[in-house]
Amino acid sequence: MFELFRKKKPTHGFNGDRFELTKSEKFHVERAFKLLEGYAVHESVAAKLEAGITARGLSDYANLNLYEYGEPSKKVGDLNIALSSLIKAYSIYSVPMYLYDIAICFGALHQPEQAKTYFSKFIKAQESFAPDQIDEVLIQRDMKELMEHARSKV
């Protein structure tokens, strides 16, 4: 059922760039899809759910690279991997929380102006975001807390 993002190569980013998932990203995306094994999904929501789960797998992979012992990693290579995966996640499933995560990456990379730009984008997008049931299932984060943090950074 969920073959759209597994067969479609390369895909496009939100800025029009083309990309493919790395081997590690594919592993984490496949792992995210295992959560749905054995479940039936109505075709009217299958494409959105597939995009959301793909993005969730990329986000999970990004977080492994972004955080080390609960704190943002100091390893620039890991942070760049996290940033790349989050940009892909947002490209595939454009929910505001990925803009917040991108801002966090830029902050960890000591690029405060880029971080500020993405915190501002997050705030603007989140203020007008009306999540549906699929979004609510996939997001599972305290958006009020993220908004407060983002506002403190701009």
* Nearest one of 88, 92, 70, 81 to 19, comparing CA atoms: 88
pLDDT 10s digits, 30-50: 999 988 788 888 888 888 998
- Give the whole-angstrom CA distance, residue 146 versus residue 154: 13
| Residue-averaged pLDDT of the chain | 86
pLDDT at 81: 92
Q: Please give the pLDDT value at position 60.
A: 92
CA angle 118, 97, 132 (to 5 degrees): 135
Q: Is 12 helix (H, G, I), strand (E, B) or coil?
A: strand
Query: Greater confidence, 68 or 33?
Result: 33
Answer yes or no: pTM beyond 0.95: no
Instruction: Tell me the C-alpha distance between 154 and 149, whole Å.
Output: 9
| CATH code where residue 32 lies | 1.25.40
Condensed to tens digits (0 to 9), the pLDDT of residues 95-152 reads 999 999 999 999 989 999 999 999 999 999 999 999 999 999 898 899 999 999 999 9
Q: How many domains does the chain have?
A: 1
Q: What is the mean pLDDT of residues 3-28?
A: 68
What pLDDT, on a 0 to 100 scale, did the predictor assign at position 95? Answer: 96
Q: What domain range is 94 assigned to? A: 4-153
Inter-residue contact 51 to 94 (CB < 8 Å): no
Listed in order, strand segments (DSSP E) in the chain are: 11-12, 18-19, 67-68, 71-72
